[in-house]
């Protein structure tokens, strides 16, 4: 195996027949209104049984209204030791549907253009699932296109990364995907300020809404601060970078295509006590 081939590491997030699951996810797909090109999206990265449908339909919408030469994926960072924006520079990522090539030429361009903001660190991607769970969708909807995986910590200069990539010569020829879930609510996450029950569920939804409003208004500079204060995103660096990229590319705003949470998806009828928020947004 090529030393730059990243194997499948988190198959438990997306078990089973992926082609069939994607077809099921798209059975309820309705193309969003409008005809203007899209340049970026935010999608969730939980297990496919929870958030796969939202991610699939959002990425389908993005692919239908763009013709890029590559897809840049900004990943959430769940490991405290990853403190810099980590670029996976070359090779390929394996998925159950086939391999996705990494755009080595694009990697060299962004590293040369933003040397103080990005570093080569393929190893940082080994233990992280936030980009991996998007790769089968990218393989399906952006067939044959290469990717550039970049992990963006919440305290990294995310806005400068996104805007800087958009200004590079290749910036006009790529689309960006940010991988992030929203509020993690409940005792298991050490975060239940509104208690339990339906009022707490409504509070959590409103907490998600605060960061979604920033995406709608393309206020990239406020995303990481809002997430730190309200704990309403696990990948605020990825979101901020994508929003800054979209704004630099001329986007006028973000559109929330879908939003839900794990409590709603489970539909057990049990009283609300914990959930993770999910949203699909295009810009």
* pLDDT for the residue numbered 268: 76
Residue 212 burial (C-beta neighbours within 10 Å; 0-12, 13-18, 19+):
buried
Six-digit token string for 235: 């990948």
Q: Where are the domains of the chain?
A: 34-282
Residue pair 85/3 in contact (Cβ under 8 Å)? The answer is no
Q: Which of 282, 146, 264, 255 is nearest to 201 (CA)?
A: 264
* pLDDT for the residue numbered 79: 82
Six-digit token string for 36: 């203007």
* pLDDT for the residue numbered 203: 98
Average confidence (pLDDT) per 10 residues, the chain, 283 residues: 80 98 96 91 98 98 96 92 91 98 98 96 93 98 98 92 97 97 97 96 98 98 97 98 98 97 91 96 98
* pLDDT for the residue numbered 3: 54
Residue pair 156/162 in contact (Cβ under 8 Å)? The answer is no
Q: What is the SS3 assignment for 176?
A: strand
Span 34-282 CATH architecture: 3-Layer(aba) Sandwich (3.40)
Pairing of strands 92-93, 5-6: parallel
Q: What is the SS3 assignment for 10?
A: coil
Residue pair 44/51 in contact (Cβ under 8 Å)? The answer is yes
Give, in degrees to the nearest 5, the angle at Cα 32 between 30 and 34.
145
* pLDDT for the residue numbered 261: 98
Q: How far apart are CA 175 and CA 166, in angstroms?
A: 9
């Amino acid at each position: 195996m090529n030393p730059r081939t990243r194997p499948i590491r988190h198959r438990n997030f997306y078990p089973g027949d992926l082609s069939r699951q994607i077809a099921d996810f798209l059975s309820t797909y309705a193309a969003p209104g409008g005809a203007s090109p899209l340049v970026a999206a935010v999608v969730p990265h939980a297990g496919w049984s929870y958030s796969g449908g939202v991610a699939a339909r959002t990425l389908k919408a993005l692919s239908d209204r763009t013709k890029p030469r590559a897809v840049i994926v900004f990943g959430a960072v769940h490991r405290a030791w990853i403190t810099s924006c980590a670029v996976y520079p070359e090779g390929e990522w394996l998925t159950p549907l086939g391999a996705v090539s990494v755009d080595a030429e694009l990697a060299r361009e962004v590293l040369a253009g933003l040397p103080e903001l990005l570093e080569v660190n393929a190893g940082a991607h080994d233990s992280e699932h936030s980009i991996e769970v998007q790769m089968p969708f990218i393989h399906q909807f952006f067939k044959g296109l290469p990717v550039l995986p970049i992990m963006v910590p919440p305290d990294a200069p995310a806005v400068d990364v996104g805007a800087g990539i958009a200004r590079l010569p290749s910036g006009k020829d790529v689309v960006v995907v940010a991988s992030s879930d929203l509020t993690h609510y409940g005792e298991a996450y050490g975060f239940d300020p509104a208690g339990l029950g339906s009022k707490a569920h409504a509070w959590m939804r409103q907490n998600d809404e605060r960061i979604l409003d920033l995406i709608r208004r393309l206020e990239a500079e406020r995303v990481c601060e809002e997430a730190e204060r309200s704990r309403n995103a696990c990948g605020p660096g990825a979101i901020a970078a994508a929003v800054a990229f979209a704004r630099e590319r001329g986007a006028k705003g973000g559109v929330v295509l879908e939003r839900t949470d794990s409590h709603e998806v489970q539909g057990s009828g049990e009283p609300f006590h914990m959930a993770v928020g999910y949203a699909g947004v295009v810009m």
